[in-house]
Amino acid sequence: MPGPLADQTGCMKHKTFFWFILPTSLAMLLFIALPIVSVVMQSMYAPHEQVIVEVESCDIFGCKKSTMVDQDATREIREAEPLGRFVGTEIYTNRNHLATTEIGLAWQQATGFSEFVSALMNLPFYRALAFTLTFTFVVTPLVLILGFMIAVAVNSIPAPLRGPTIFLSLLPMIINTLVGSLILFWMVDARGIVGTLLQTLVGDPNLSMKASTPLTWVMLIVYGVWHAAPFAFVVYYAGLQTVPKDTLESAMMDGASRWEQIRYVIIPHLLPLTTFIALMQLMDNFRVFEPILSFNASAHATSLSYFIYDDLGGETRLLSSAAATSVLTIIGVAILLTPVLIRTWRDFGRK
């Protein structure tokens, strides 16, 4: 329902609107648009070709022949072209990113589809993308469902108990991601409480969640749901307070069961909130990162964000590679959000 402010926007003077929106636009330009431009630039330039000289290096273990970068020679090249060497889309198409050549080869050589897929999964970018997408599309719906179920459950318990229950339900979100995943990491350790329990249940003393790729994925997804469900819960719980009482009562008079009330009254009423949570969760889950770090899971699962972190965290930083992955991530987020945004736009237009 349009509020009083929305009523006025139609006749809000252009000048007023301009001043109203100016601070936001400036902030967006400064903190969103400019960094994106800078990242795109960075991804198309690579460091100059290094001038390597052979030198003698002496340390406490003796002297030997070694090589180093000739800084004087490099400085001249750098000053002539401070941005680096223009490589266009070379970084995007190289093996560590979209790997166009390698994919072409794999397509020609593969004898079957599964062989092609395994060749694809051997390339670091696609491996990261596969986990990122799986995580996003499994965690997001589970968070929505679980959050909704908790909200309905909490809403129907006696009022005095609600406060403490809400507090407890929010704990997973309050705990810092790194700390939360570290707790789970120790619990599922081969010598941890959950790890040992699983070994006993399955009857295999060598079972290790951290040593198995599928189990690692399951563990990360469970963590993702555990961490984000409270967010969906809080939003849905707030939404439940706005469900019109008379509609519910008339539904009850018409003999609607509790399930039918939820199905035909509550869920349609909360649909805009679902769009909102889905939007937030798609964005959040697409940049999954901290659990992979805390779980030391990189042998089994990497994500696009982890990929960027890895490029920036090595002894030799790969700035252009990190920039290219960032641009690809931005494109991924845009693609992911398009359907939801189109839907929102249509809903808005209908009103």
Interface with another protein by CB under 8 A: which residues? Answer: 46-50, 52-61, 64, 66-69, 71, 74-75, 85, 87, 91, 94-96, 122, 124, 189-191, 205-208, 210-211, 213, 295-300, 310, 312-318, 320-321
Q: How far is the CB of 56 from another protein (least distance, A)?
A: 7
CA atoms within 13 A of residue 138's CA, in its CB half-sphere: 17
Q: How far is the CB of 172 from another protein (least distance, A)?
A: 22
- Positive or negative, the CA dihedral 291, 295, 297, 301 is negative
> Of 182 and 251, which has the nearer Cβ to another protein?
182
Q: How far is the CB of 137 from another protein (least distance, A)?
A: 23
87: phi > 0 → left, psi -120 to 50 → alpha, else beta; which?
alpha
> Of 139 and 297, which has the nearer Cβ to another protein?
297
Spatial distance between the Cα atoms of 116 and 120, rounded to a whole number of angstroms: 6
Q: How far is the CB of 44 from another protein (least distance, A)?
A: 12
Residues 6+ apart with CB under 8 A from 195: 187, 188, 189, 207, 208, 209
CB-count burial class (<10 Å; 0-12, 13-18, 19+) for 295: buried
**Cα–Cα–Cα angle for 320, 306, 90, nearest 5°?**
25
> Of 16 and 57, which has the nearer Cβ to another protein?
57
> Of 60 and 174, which has the nearer Cβ to another protein?
60
Q: How far is the CB of 211 from another protein (least distance, A)?
A: 4
Q: How far is the CB of 37 from another protein (least distance, A)?
A: 21
> Of 49 and 254, which has the nearer Cβ to another protein?
49
Spatial distance between the Cα atoms of 54 and 106, rounded to a whole number of angstroms: 39
Rounded (10°) CA dihedral 179, 184, 186, 188: -170
Spatial distance between the Cα atoms of 188 and 239, rounded to a whole number of angstroms: 36
> Of 183 and 211, which has the nearer Cβ to another protein?
211
